[in-house]
Amino acid sequence: MNIRALVVDDERPARNELIYLIKKIGGIEVCGEASSALEALKKVVELRPELVFLDIQMEPVNGIVLARKIMEDPHPPFIVFATAYDKYAVEAFEINAMDYILKPFSEGRIRTTIERILDKINENKSYNVNNKEQLLDLLEKLTEKKTFEKIPVWQGDRIILLDPEDIVFIVTTEGKNTVLKTVTGEYEASYSIGEMEESLSHSVFFKPHRSFLINLNYIKEIEPWFHNTYQLVMKNYENEKIPVSRNRVKEFKKAINLKK
């Protein structure tokens, strides 16, 4: 009988990719998926999976908080963390022999992880919950929100450090990376737009649309658009219109003190 797994990630493309790779590798049946911590908890109770693939960075409740809750169960499922975090978090996983997979996903890494998990389950091994709690404490410290003073980005084969105040706006690319449009040019960064939003000053930066994060100081024009929404024209990038989503109009007006 196949081991049953629950896949938890707040981004559908990431869930779809992981589910595809799990099915391709075989040996594990994906019994469900969840896009939030609350949905995941309900499905853990309902489905009783032996294994949970869990993204660390979810909103509003992250994977570490969810893992703590799952581990309150007397017989918790095995947890495999999916992470895009820095080398220090990965070292913590390695030292404590906790299972993890790195984003972007690698079929080889997932295959190795699945084989290791299957061996543990077949041998009826279980968690040392105290050790896992210590590791979760460590990971929580390593993955605390950081505020950017300088942002490392690639320029050809070298890395340069950008000042946040030079950013005009940020736009998502395929996957989780972003392009930073600045007063001096465009740069790619290996941060998701959610990570950028968390780490930049909310008094200056605003997210008018799920794919954009703007520096309010660089708005040049505000153009009325369909359904009482707006398009924004930014300094230095006048040919690129940025939409304001309908559900962000009220917050946008508040952010720029627009009374009408």
The verdict on residue 249 lying in a domain is yes
Side-chain half-sphere CA neighbours of 81 within 13 A:
28
Domain limits for position 240? 151-255
The CA-based dihedral angle spanning residues 1, 15, 103, 202, taken in that order and rounded to the nearest 10 degrees: -150
**How many other CB atoms are there within 10 angstroms of residue 211's CB atom?**
15
Rounded Cα–Cα distance for residues 125 and 121 (Å): 6
The verdict on residue 171 lying in a domain is yes
Q: State the pLDDT at residue 104.
A: 81
**How many other CB atoms are there within 10 angstroms of residue 55's CB atom?**
23
Same domain, 213 and 237: yes
Rounded Cα–Cα distance for residues 28 and 51 (Å): 9
**Residue 178 is encoded by which pair of tokens?**
């972003």
> Where does a domain end: 114, 142, 170?
142
Polymer length of the chain: 260
CA-wise closest residue to 118 among 40, 26, 195: 26
> Where does a domain end: 122, 142, 162?
142
CA-wise closest residue to 82 among 23, 163, 22: 22
The verdict on residue 23 lying in a domain is yes
Same domain, 250 and 222: yes
Tens of pLDDT along 179-206?
999 999 999 887 888 888 877 866 689 9
Q: How many domains does one find in the chain?
A: 2
Same domain, 155 and 111: no
- The C-alpha R_g of the chain, in whole angstroms, comes to 21
Rounded Cα–Cα distance for residues 18 and 83 (Å): 13
The CATH code of the domain that includes 210 is 2.40.50.1020
The CATH code of the domain that includes 113 is 3.40.50.2300
With a cut of 50, list the residues of the chain below it in pLDDT: 88, 97
Find how far residue 21's CA is from the centre of its chain: 19
The verdict on residue 207 lying in a domain is yes
Rounded Cα–Cα distance for residues 67 and 232 (Å): 40
Q: State the pLDDT at residue 141.
A: 58
Q: State the pLDDT at residue 70.
A: 86
Same domain, 56 and 16: yes
Q: State the pLDDT at residue 177.
A: 77
Tens of pLDDT along 137-184?
655 655 555 556 778 887 776 778 888 999 999 999 776 678 999 999
